[in-house]
Amino acid sequence: MPGRGNLLWTGFGVLALVFLLSPLALVVFFSFAENQNATFPAGGATLHWYGVLFDDPDFWKALGNSAIVTLTVGLVSMVVGTAAAMTLARTRPALANALIGVITLPIMLPPLVLALALATGYSSLGLPLGLGTVIPSHVVFTQPFVILVVHAQMASFNMAVVDSARDLGAGPWTIFRTVILPIIRPTLIGATLMAMAVSLDDFIITYFTIGGGMTLPTMIWGMLRKALDPSINALGALVLVATVGTSLIALRLTRYRG
């Protein structure tokens, strides 16, 4: 009896895996393929499309902007999100869950709505659009990830450890620095990397709040709207490697499995 059922489940699992991964694998595959239509037969292997991409000054501009946004957003989300998660860990659970429900609203709603709300708001205030408007617009939907992950870790945190440190004479800041931080550091870094991956990959909110500038995703969008540009596979592959790589490190550090 188990043999047949297991076979069916294994088949389903393989299909699920293929469904999840093959679109991404094909993008990476065609970024190294000679066929400029990105269809089979793929032709020989080449680094040509990466060469084309690296010769494009726009790419370096977009990369620079993405780096600035991603790093700043990661840092701010980490500090702001951790401070919030620490306080939430000491709040009674019902209230804490309600507050988390509120602060995670920005990731529940379609990004288009938030993007238009922000764009409308900025324009009526007369704020010049640019990286300065992109960064806080990202933090509002990256900080929930840090709060969720760090708060989940704090929920399983052995509070007797904090009591012990207090009992041995440590003040709040010393306790955070010498006891809590060393224990949660991997989670903290992992959560920050998650926030960075989300920020790096964001297109919709960036598109509406950046004005004339460009990040890697908005550059992809530009290439998608122009005539077929095969180096889009190279750019897509780079963005994928960056976000998936960041996520993998984050998963390893946080041991977050859902």
Question: Which residue of 53, 118, 131, 149 would you call a contact of other proteins, by CB under 8 A?
Answer: 118
What the block records as the tokens of 137 is 């617009």
Least spacing, CB of residue 134 vs other proteins, in Å: 11
Of the candidate spans 50-58, 62-70, 117-125, the one that interacts with other proteins by CB under 8 A turns out to be 117-125
Least spacing, CB of residue 149 vs other proteins, in Å: 12
Looking up tokens 């550090």, which residue turns up?
Answer: 253
Query: Per CB under 8 A, which of residues 83..112 are in contact with other proteins?
Result: 83-84, 86-88, 99, 102-103, 105-106, 108-112
Site mask, other proteins, residues 133-172, x = CB under 8 A? ---xx-xx--x---x----------xxxxxxxxxxxxxx-
Question: Which residue of 71, 75, 127, 251 would you call a contact of other proteins, by CB under 8 A?
Answer: 251
> How wide is the angle at C-alpha 147 spanned by C-alphas 143 and 151, nearest 5°?
175
In the structure, how many helices (H) and strands (E) does the chain have? 13, 0
What the block records as the tokens of 23 is 């679109």
Query: Per CB under 8 A, which of residues 16..45 are in contact with other proteins?
Result: 16-17, 19-24, 26-27, 30, 37-40
Question: Any contact of residue 7 with other proteins (CB under 8 A)?
Answer: no
Least spacing, CB of residue 236 vs other proteins, in Å: 4
DSSP assignment of 150-187: HHHHHHTS-HHHHHHHHHTT--HHHHIIIIIHHHHHHH
Q: Is 16 left (phi over 0), alpha (psi -120 to 50) or beta?
A: alpha
Separation of alpha carbons 179 and 175, rounded Å: 5
Least spacing, CB of residue 100 vs other proteins, in Å: 10
Question: Which residue of 62, 134, 190, 201 would you call a contact of other proteins, by CB under 8 A?
Answer: 201
Residues 6+ apart with CB under 8 A from 132: none
Question: Any contact of residue 128 with other proteins (CB under 8 A)?
Answer: no
Task: Return the SS3 of 208.
Answer: helix
Query: Per CB under 8 A, which of residues 216..235 are in contact with other proteins?
Result: 217, 220-221, 224, 232
Which DSSP symbol is given to 45?
B
Least spacing, CB of residue 201 vs other proteins, in Å: 6
Within 10 angstroms of residue 233's Cβ, the number of other Cβ atoms is 23
Question: Which residue of 68, 179, 211, 213 would you call a contact of other proteins, by CB under 8 A?
Answer: 179
Question: Any contact of residue 63 with other proteins (CB under 8 A)?
Answer: no
Least spacing, CB of residue 90 vs other proteins, in Å: 9
**For residue 168, what are the CA distances in angstroms to 95, 158, 163, 171, 176?**
31, 16, 9, 9, 14
